[in-house]
Structures are given as structure tokens and as C-alpha cells.
């Protein structure tokens, strides 16, 4: 019998995962069948699939950024790639925040609700005393320049990227002869890791199925219903950005059609959706962008790892919506200056959030604090975050891929 194609396997895995999870959700999680299924879903989804992705992330990021920068040296392109990438990140994140602000003002999901209604559900244990912009900035800067070995051993992505950027620049500056050995080594390391990524892709359908089973089985319907207006507004705005705004920018600039893009990038989108982690999705994103969207490796291996950590349109959009939502709950009207503060802090928050599940919830506190809103409100958002994080992570990852197509287009 012929093996089903990879696409068919992914399709079946996704449907089965959602169906099985929904069945367990409605029939209760206490039966022996449910417990065994969840045990195996956790083992396969988190224990194997997600851990395999995490296993390759750090060496992949390190080698790809250093090599990405070093390989740009021949092209008089290096400056162009940098500026285009950062310009694209800035513009799309700004658009996402503006969209978020416009949507939340139009639909006012906080209307009719108030903070006190949630007070008995508020679990204070998640909250730190305070999280001001100044403290956030200090923590952020303090986390940038670390011993690269320590950073890598602890899986800290941003300091790893910074060290890789320095190494890449040094390789450019020493010229062809002296850095050659290291550059060859890194190039070869990268190729070997990408080979491992292809192996991981083989179990992608199974991994997706397991993670989607867990995700759907563990949603709390009552809570989702109570917050349904807010959830709908967030998901609709996130989808609008991901399905209309970003693909339109891509099409206008590169003539790549949305269907071609989504078809080529579906594995990464599904992985982002089910893992809620841009970083964990990175190996799959690189694979899809290079093989299916034919982006030059020098570009993709620079733009994607950087974007996975600092370019998060979905997160920025969410933080803006959530801040205004919390203001509504607290009965506070934010003036124009405060909204501008929300705009900028949401941007900083999205840059500062690492690409891991619910990272945006932590940086959210800074946004609230900056405009004097109660940070305890984050506790209301935490229980529904697993669901919202799926969509915003998918859009975060999509934004990076579209960025790499655009930079590729301008630097071909």
C-alpha cells in the first residue's frame, strides 16, 4: 500500500487531534481511557516532538545567525538586509498594534464587565510586586550579554543571538582567509542540524496530533464562555492581521499569492499553533521558507531566528487589546497620551517577550504598569491564555516568514 503523502498525514493528524481532544473534553478527563490518552499525548507531543525541536534550536540559532551574517559579506547587501529587516519588523508591528487598538475601541469587549466580577478567581501567585518599564528595561539589558556557553546551556535565546551576531560581524571583518576554518565548521554544523530537522519533520503529523489533543481536551468551556466577547475580538483581530494585512503586504511587494504562501508554510503555522512557541517552531519555519518559498538561505537564516525573538505581531496586537480591555474593566478611560504609551510599551513588550508559551503575559504587566492599570488583571487573562497564545504565535511566526520573503525579494 502506498504511504499517504506528508500533506495527507498532516491533515489527518490535525483533524484526529482536535476530534480526540474534543471528545475527551466533553466526556470528562477522569476516565482511565482519558487518562491514558492524555498520558501518551503528553509523552509524544511534549516529551518527544517538542523536546526534539528544543534540542536543535540553540545550535541552529547560533550557527544560522553567525553564518547568515558572515555570508552576507560578499554581497554589498549586508546593510540592506539589516535595514530592510528592522524596517519591516517595525512597520508590521506598528500596524498590528494600531489594528488592535482600533478593534478594541470599536467592539469594546470590556463593556458590561468589571474587575470586581473576577476578584474571587484572581490567583495572585502569578504576580510580581511590580513590573515597571524601568525594571523591565534593566532586566532586558542585563539579559543581553551573557557568557555564550552559559546562555546556550540554559536555552537562553536572546544572548545566544547577540553572541552569534558579534561572531558573524567578526567573521566579516577578518576577511576571507583568517575566519575560514570557523566559518566552514559553522556551515557544516548548520547543514547537519538542518538534516536532523528533516528527520523531526517526519514525526510532525504525530506531534501535531498529540499536542492538539492535549490543547482541546484541556480547555475550560465555562471560562471561555464568560470571556467569549474578549476572546472573539482578540482572535478576529489576530486573524485579520494574519490573513489579510500580512498576506496583502506580501502580495503587493513580491506577487506571492496568499494561497501559495499558506500552502507552503502550513507545517510551520500548525506547529506554532500547537506549541505556542515561536522558538520551537523555528526549525520548521526555516525548512518551509527555504524549501517551499525558495528564500535565499543567507536571508532566511538571518531574518527568521532574529524575527522569532524580536518580531511578534500577534503578541503586540494582543497586548494592546488586553491593555484597553483591562482599562475598561477597571472603569478607567485612557487618554491619548496613555494610548501612545500603550502603543510603545506593547511594541517593547513584543520585542522583549521570548518565543515561549505565554511569554506575552509576563511582559503584559509592564504595559499595564506603564499606564497605571492594575497588574492583578493579568490573572484574569492567564487562564484563557493557552487558547489565545495559539493564534498569536502562529501570526508571530507568519510575520517572520513574510519578512524573509520580502527581504529576499529586495536583495535577490
Angle at 231 between CA 230 and CA 234, to 5 degrees: 85
Q: Please, what is the minimum distance in Å from the beta carbon of residue 142 to ligand ASP?
A: 21
The DSSP letter of residue 188 is H
CB 81 within 8 A of CB 392: no
Q: Please, what is the minimum distance in Å from the beta carbon of residue 268 to ligand ASP?
A: 12
Q: Please, what is the minimum distance in Å from the beta carbon of residue 357 to ligand ASP?
A: 5
Between 10 and 308, CB nearer to ligand ASP = 308
Angle at 45 between CA 39 and CA 51, to 5 degrees: 120
Those residues with Cβ within 8 angstroms of residue 151's Cβ, 6 or more apart along the chain or in another chain: 159, 160, 163
Between 69 and 324, CB nearer to ligand ASP = 324
Distance CA 87, CA 403 (A): 10
Of all residues in the shown chain, the one whose CB is closest to ligand ASP is: 360
Q: Positive or negative, the Cα torsion across 327, 328, 331, 334?
A: positive
Between 358 and 376, CB nearer to ligand ASP = 358
Q: Please, what is the minimum distance in Å from the beta carbon of residue 325 to ligand ASP?
A: 16
Q: Please, what is the minimum distance in Å from the beta carbon of residue 353 to ligand ASP?
A: 5
* Spatial CA neighbour of 56 closest among 165, 191, 175, 180: 191
CA 298 remoteness from chain centre: 21
Judged by the rule CB under 6 A, the positions of this chain that interact with ligand ASP are 276-278, 312, 315, 353, 355-360, 389, 392-393, 396
Q: Please, what is the minimum distance in Å from the beta carbon of residue 377 to ligand ASP?
A: 17
Distance CA 287, CA 190 (A): 12
Q: Please, what is the minimum distance in Å from the beta carbon of residue 199 to ligand ASP?
A: 23
CA 397 remoteness from chain centre: 5
CB 331 within 8 A of CB 114: yes
Q: Positive or negative, the Cα torsion across 242, 246, 248, 251?
A: negative
Q: Please, what is the minimum distance in Å from the beta carbon of residue 185 to ligand ASP?
A: 30
Cell numbers 529586495: residue: 410
Between 96 and 186, CB nearer to ligand ASP = 96
Residues present in the chain in total: 412
Between 298 and 389, CB nearer to ligand ASP = 389
Amino acid at each position: 500500500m502506498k504511504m499517504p503523502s506528508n500533506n495527507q498525514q498532516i491533515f489527518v493528524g490535525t483533524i484526529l487531534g482536535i476530534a480526540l481532544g474534543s471528545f475527551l473534553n466533553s466526556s470528562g478527563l477522569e476516565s482511565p481511557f482519558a487518562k491514558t490518552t492524555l498520558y501518551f499525548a503528553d509523552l509524544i507531543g511534549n516529551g518527544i516532538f517538542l523536546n526534539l525541536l528544543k534540542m536543535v534550536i540553540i545550535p541552529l540559532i547560533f550557527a544560522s545567525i553567525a553564518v547568515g551574517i558572515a555570508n552576507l559579506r560578499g554581497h554589498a547587501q549586508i546593510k540592506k538586509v539589516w535595514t530592510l529587516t528592522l524596517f519591516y519588523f517595525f512597520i508590521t508591528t506598528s500596524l498590528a498594534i494600531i489594528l488592535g487598538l482600533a478593534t478594541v475601541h470599536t467592539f469594546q469587549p470590556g463593556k458590561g464587565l468589571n474587575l470586581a466580577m473576577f476578584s474571587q478567581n484572581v490567583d495572585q501567585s502569578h504576580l510580581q510586586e511590580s513590573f515597571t518599564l524601568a525594571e523591565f528595561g534593566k532586566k532586558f539589558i542585563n539579559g543581553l550579554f551573557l557568557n555564550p556557553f552559559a546562555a546556550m546551556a540554559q536555552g537562553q535565546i536572546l544572548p545566544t543571538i547577540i553572541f552569534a551576531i558579534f561572531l558573524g560581524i567578526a567573521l566579516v571583518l577578518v576577511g576571507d582567509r583568517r575566519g575560514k576554518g570557523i566559518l566552514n565548521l559553522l556551515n557544516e554544523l548548520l547543514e547537519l542540524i538542518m538534516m536532523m530537522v528533516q528527520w523531526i519533520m517526519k514525526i510532525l503529523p504525530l506531534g501535531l496530533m498529540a499536542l492538539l489533543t492535549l490543547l482541546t481536551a484541556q480547555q475550560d468551556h465555562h471560562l471561555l464562555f464568560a470571556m467569549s466577547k474578549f476572546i472573539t475580538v482578540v482572535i478576529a483581530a489576530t486573524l485579520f492581521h494574519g490573513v489579510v494585512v500580512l498576506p496583502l503586504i506580501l502580495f503587493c511587494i513580491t506577487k506571492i499569492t496568499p494561497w501559495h504562501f499558506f500552502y507552503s508554510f502550513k507545517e510551520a503555522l500548525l506547529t506554532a499553533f500547537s506549541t505556542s512557541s515561536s522558538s520551537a517552531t523555528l526549525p520548521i519555519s526555516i525548512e518551509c521558507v527555504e524549501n517551499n518559498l525558495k528564500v535565499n538561505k543567507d536571508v532566511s537564516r538571518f531574518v527568521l531566528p532574529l524575527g522569532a525573538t524580536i518580531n511578534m505581531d500577534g503578541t503586540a496586537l494582543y497586548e494592546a487589546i488586553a491593555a484597553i480591555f483591562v482599562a475598561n474593566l477597571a472603569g478607567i478611560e485612557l487618554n491619548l497620551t496613555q494610548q501612545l504609551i500603550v502603543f510603545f510599551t506593547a511594541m517593547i513588550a513584543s520585542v522583549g517577550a521570548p518565543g515561549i508559551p505565554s511569554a506575552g503575559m509576563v511582559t503584559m504587566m509592564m504595559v499595564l504598569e506603564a499606564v497605571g492599570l492594575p497588574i492583578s488583571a493579568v490573572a484574569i487573562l492567564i487562564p484563557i491564555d493557552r487558547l489565545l497564545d495559539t493564534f498569536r504565535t502562529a501570526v508571530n511566526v507568519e510575520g517572520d516568514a513574510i519578512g524573509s520573503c520580502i527581504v529576499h525579494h529586495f536583495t535577490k
